[in-house]
Structure 1
Amino acid sequence: MKHTWLVLFYMLIVGCGGAKVDQSTVLNPTNPKGVKGSVLQESKDNVQKSSLESVNSTVALNNLSKDIEATMTFLTSDELMGRDTGSKGIAKAADYIQNVFQDNNIQPYFGSFKDTLENYSDGVAYNVVGFLPGTDPKLKNEFVIIGAHYDHIGLISGTVEDEIANGANDNASGTTTVLEFAKYFGKQKNNKRSLIFALFTAEEKGLVGSKHLAKKLKDQNIDLYAMLNFEMVGVPMIDKDHSLYLTGYELSNLAEVSNKYAGKNLVGFLPKAKEFNLFRRSDNAPFHDEFNIPSQTYSSFDFTNFSEYHKVGDEASLMDFNFMAVIVKESIPMLEGIVNAQVKEVKYN
């Protein structure tokens, strides 16, 4: 009888937890199979890490959006008087661009950031051209140009209250986007090929600035791989399954390569772009003419989403800074892939 009571007492102690139990095995409704506690903890850690990364990503995107807004606000301010080529207003924009380059480890490609156009008859005009050497011993001898025009049309007939065409979408948006790329690569310095960041003047006068630079670089006989231009990227397209379209879409495999590195359908085809031959109407065209290498423009202006083209109403207040931030974020891996590929993947058909 005494022995029986000892057995019962021992069983009671075990049942009440008096004996040592493997605490790493937890039996509860959320863990019915007794998954080891360390595994559960790892799962919790992964969830927390994912949540933290999501929060950090949101914060980073918000900060990027604010940076974009600040740049856009300055470039489209009345102080710059519409950034007409040769004007005092565009000179202030050029100084701003130069300061961004200097603050972010971007060097002048020529002796100065400001590359003056010869024989320009209406004031002094210059492109602003930055340079970031490539890190690969061989690939650094190949170049990729990332560009946009920073000029606009200045003063035009508007209302009594406003005659300044501030040019937010056209093309402070492209200029700001290129400056964000310069900031990123200037900080990371992870570009195997050499990068030229070119902000063109006199695009509105007939692509004068880009013609000047294309000829000057051709005379230097540089090994130019691609010219990637950004034009009017301030507002999202309507009812499209991609965020940007590519001018001259059918001429090369650039859209396919871009989407591969972006990891999504970032770049698509816009029939109107072909109909209006936009391939010939932006700063990519002179590089195509001089080098016969893939030279194309990314844009989100789809002819239905923005009605203030070349009007005084092209103001920063109409721009979608969050959209622009997403474009920058999603374009960076695209650019990294193109710039760092071991072979020249982008080719004309």
Structure 2
Amino acid sequence: MKQIAFFIITLLFITCKEATTAQSPISNITASDIEVIMNFLASDALGGRDTGSEGLEKAAKFIEQEFKKSGIKPYFESYLNTFDAKGTETYNVVGYLKGTDLDLADQFVVIGAHFDHIGNGKDVNGDTIANGANDNAAGSTAVISLAKHFAEVKNNKRSVLFVLFGAEEKGLLGSDHLAKVLKEKNLDLYTMINFEMIGVPLNDKTYKAYITGYEISNMAEKINEYSGKELIGFLPKAKEFQLFRRSDNYPFYSAFNVPCQTVSTFDFTNYDYYHHVDDEVSEMNFEFMAELINDCAPVITRILNTPTKEIKLN
């Protein structure tokens, strides 16, 4: 009887351990973590991260270093995926985390955000640098932070590309280039989640963020199911202004015809500094950003580990 009891207890222990292992370790990205990344990407030293600028190059090197420290590998021969942006050579920064499952590792999820901005803006009290804190150092910070988290926990059955897009401000050129390159490689893309302008909370909403193209797929429904709360909602203004077509998710949707959508908290009422020199780090809410990114981590974990592709176009 003792041997039987011991066997049952051991079996229960193993089962519980496996169940726990399959769950997402809690993401503990802090506001101070966010602040460090934001302070660099949106600093005056980067001069507004315009395409082809020295400041954009500094940002790219910083992202490369963050990927290397975390154990995120380059997907191509280097982290830089170079392309021509209307006569100016620039690049996407592409990191790669291989899936842990022999079958699912051939399926990919892209987590992206653009890291370029417009360089200079209209002079305000002698300041002409458009730092682009909310647009889009905030989204870039989310991608870098999530890359660190998943590189540490290594619980992704599917493979992930963590991408910082260049030349978004020139017309989604970086995402368009990369989507075409990956399509030519016959990449099996499950879904793409893009982060854009997440630096401040929504005004008077029950949900924490919205996704563009809400009605195009069941992504919002699945995100809320995976998070266990109303994390994502529908913003009518996003549909009115066709934001689905105006961010780096769209070239991937066009190329692959799979759910590719953008997470944002810019609701046209909560931030006055779009493409403005006052889009500064001082205007950002680091506590909110950390909370949102931490909320997204277990959602992305589920996306990376479900046996079948549950997010589908409507």
- Give deviations 1:159-184, integer Å, cap 9, x for gaps: 25200000000000000011110000
After superposition, residues 108-257 of structure 1 pair within 5 angstroms as: 108-118=74-84, 120-122=86-88, 124-257=89-222
Q: Is 1:71 aligned to residue 37 of structure 2?
A: yes
Contact map agreement 2:38 2:138 (CA 8 A) in 1: yes
Q: Match for residue 44 of structure 1?
A: none
Q: Is the 8 A contact 2:85 2:170 kept in 1?
A: no
The answer to whether structure 1 residue 274 and structure 2 residue 236 are counterparts is no
Equivalent-residue separation in structure 1 for 2:79 and 2:55 (angstroms): 17
One-letter code aligned to 2:267: D
* Partner residue, 1:105: 71
Count residues with an aligned counterpart. 289
TM-score w.r.t. structure 1 length?
A: 0.81
- Residue type of the partner of 2:79? F
Q: Is the 8 A contact 2:48 2:55 kept in 1?
A: yes
Determine the structure 1 residue equivalent to 2:57.
91
What is the CA–CA distance in structure 1 between the aligned matches of 2:264 and 2:123, rounded to whole Å?
26
Residue type of the alignment partner of 1:326: E
SS where residue 170 of structure 1 aligns? helix
- Quote the Cα distance in structure 2 between the aligned partners of 1:166 and 1:195: 29
- Residue 337, structure 1, aligned to residue 302, structure 2: yes
Higher relative contact order (CA 8 A, sep 6+): 2
Tell me how far 1:331 sits from its aligned partner. 0.6
Say which SS state the counterpart of residue 279 (structure 2) adopts: coil
Measured in 1, the distance between the counterparts of 2:294 and 2:112 equals 17
Q: CA deviation at 1:235?
A: 0.2
Give the residue type in structure 2 aligned to 1:92.
Answer: K
Q: Name the structure with the higher strand share.
A: 2
What letter matches 1:185 in structure 2? F
Provide the rounded CA distance (Å) in 2 between the counterparts of 1:105 and 1:260.
Answer: 30
Q: Which consecutive unaligned segments of at least 5 residues does structure 2 have? A: 1-25
Residue in 1 that maps onto 2:7: none
Shift of 1:158: 1.5
1:261 Cα offset (Å) = 0.9
Aligned match of 1:53: none
Letter matched to residue 131 of structure 2: N
What is the Cα deviation at residue 120 of structure 1? 4.4
* Deviation of the 1:135 alpha carbon: 0.3
Decide whether aligned partners of structure 1 residues 164 and 336 sit closer, same or farther in structure 2, where only a CA change above 3 A counts. same
Asked whether the equivalents of residues 85 and 167 of structure 2 are also in contact (C-alpha less than 8 Å), the reply is no
Moved over 3 A (4+): none
- TM-score, with length taken from structure 2: 0.90
Q: Which has the larger radius of gyration?
A: 1
Cα distance in 2 for residues equivalent to 1:157 and 1:66 = 31
Provide the secondary structure at the position in 1 that maps to 2:36.
helix
Report the Cα distance in structure 2 between the residues aligned to 1:75 and 1:89, rounded to whole angstroms: 9
Q: Aligned-pair distance for 1:156?
A: 2.0
Q: Deviations over 1:27-60 (max 9, x none)?
A: xxxxxxxxxxxxxxxxxxxxxxxxxxxxxx9xx8
Q: Which residue of 1 aligns with 2:275?
A: 310
For 2:217, the aligned partner's letter is S
For residues 201-254 of structure 1, the C-alpha deviation after alignment (integer angstroms, 9 at most, x for no partner) is 000000000000000000000100001000000000011000010100001000
